[in-house]
Structure 1
Amino acid sequence: MRIGYVRVSSLDHNPDQQIEELKLHQVEKVFMDKVSGKNLDRPELQKMLSFIREGDVLIVHSLDRLARNLADLLTMVQDLTGRGVSVTFLNERLSFESGKDASPTSKLMLSVIGAFAEFERSMIKRRQMEGIALAKERGVYKGRQRTVTEEQISKIRSLLDVGVPLAAAAREVGVSRSTAYKYLNMSEGNCHD
């Protein structure tokens, strides 16, 4: 069976390009996660890993869609090929055959390309942080927008005053306990953002 895996993150919300590529390769079943690559909780990836069987072919748009770093990528591909699953990365034009059909050259290429992909992600993150620092110096960086209103904080404070636990008060106004705690501390001057 030809199986596809798609992952989109907050930076790349639209999975259409990846899905279209998989259709061109006659993929029969697609598993898709909408989470950051850093997120370890990728339920569809786990379902795919449980579903895929010996003789299947896993097709993925690119190396960084499957794994969050080089170590995870190598472990996952080695595990899959060891289970008799072939793995193909379309963007990099790499295929890793299962078992004794595996090419030593393709294993080397996986390591090299995975290292470059990890290096590129770290460079992007570094440039992003440098850009934020420069914007802060110029006074144009506003940071993340506030997610809780003063009315919500007031209502939480009122509920706390009558003995309602913080978790219940936060649930009542539709925010998480940790968010409520953060904003309560900020408004009391105990926390600076």
Structure 2
Amino acid sequence: MKHQTIGYIRVSSVGQNTDRQLAGIALDRVFEEKASGKTVTARPVLAECLAYVRAGDTLVCHSMDRLARNTEELLGLVRDLTGKGVTVQFLKENLTFSGSDADPFKNLMLSMLAAFGQFERELINERRREGVAAARARGKKFGAPPKLTPELCQQIDTLLASGANKRATAKAVGIGEATLYRYLSEKS
């Protein structure tokens, strides 16, 4: 049985490009995922990849953060893969792990780099939350503006009072019928 070199590529959203990851690397099969790396359970392509690799195969990832987003998850995945005889290679960090290679220095590097990556993500999330809270305190509104302005509500009331039906009223003011019915139920 021929051992394969398998690539796992992940970007966080559909609009992002995967071209830079594993470019020029000879691979027998590539698993490409466009999903947040928040949890393993939210990544079906990763699950498919993990089920596909066999003893003797090499799983190649551009970097550790493409495989896992937190220290515990990354260490668990690498331990599980190497435990079943799969070699795991991270190109950016220039680290390779296999079950036959118990190098304490590489294990230390894996743990430290994973911890630093998780720490960095947590700092980014904390700064984002602080920024949102500060913007809200300054009166900044997030999300889409409300569809029903006071002027639009007045226009709806006038049209309905003049005898227009609800479907025509919704169309005339440029809202969906569901929005009109929600407005009328909240109004009463």
**TM-score class normalised by the smaller sequence:** 0.7 to 0.9
Q: Let me know the Cα RMSD of the aligned residues.
A: 2.7
Instruction: Choose the corresponding residue for 1:8, options 11, 25, 35.
Output: 11
Alignment TM-score, normalising by the size of structure 1 = 0.71
Give, in whole Å, the separation in 2 of the partners of 1:122 and 1:35.
19
Tell me: CA distance 1:103–1:50, structure 2 relative to 1, closer, same or farther (3 Å).
Answer: same
For residues 55-74 of structure 1, the aligned pairs below 5 Å read 55-74=56-75
**Partner SS, residue 176 of structure 2:** helix
The alpha carbon displacement at 1:23 in A equals 3.4
- Matched AA of 1:85: V
Query: Unaligned regions of 5+ residues in structure 2, if any?
Result: 148-173
User: Displaced runs of 4+ in structure 1, greater than 3 A?
Assistant: 146-150
Tell me: CA distance 1:150–1:102, structure 2 relative to 1, closer, same or farther (3 Å).
Answer: farther
Give, in whole Å, the separation in 2 of the partners of 1:26 and 1:133.
47
What are the superposed Cα offsets for residues 12-37 of structure 1, whole Å, 9 maximum, x if unpaired?
7221211xxx1322122111111111
Tell me: CA distance 1:12–1:82, structure 2 relative to 1, closer, same or farther (3 Å).
Answer: farther
Equivalent residue for 2:123? 123
Equivalent residue for 2:133? 133
Query: Unaligned regions of 5+ residues in structure 1, if any?
Result: 158-183
2:14–2:35 contact (8 Å) kept in structure 1: no
Give the number of aligned pairs.
156
The alpha carbon displacement at 1:153 in A equals 2.3
Identity %: 46
